[in-house]
Structure 1
Amino acid sequence: MEMKLDKAKLKQLRESKAWSQSYFAEISGLSLRTIQRIEKSGIASPESVKSICATFGIQINELSVVNEHQKELAPSFSGLIKYKISSMDKKATLISFSTAFVISFILTVILIS
Structure 2
Amino acid sequence: MYANWKVRDLEFTVGDQVLLKIYPMKVVMRFGKRGKLSSRYIGPFEILERVGDTACELALPPGMEGVYPVFHVSMLKKYHADGTYIVCWDTVLLDENLTYEEELIMILDKKVRKLRSKEIASVKMQ
- Which TM-score band applies after superposition, normalised by the shorter structure? under 0.3
Task: Looking at secondary structure, tell me which structure has more strand per residue.
Answer: 2
Task: Looking at secondary structure, tell me which structure has more helix per residue.
Answer: 1
Flag the structure with larger Rg: 1
Structure with higher RCO (Cα < 8 A, 6+ apart): 1
Q: TM-score, normalised by structure 2?
A: 0.22
Q: TM-score, normalised by structure 1?
A: 0.23
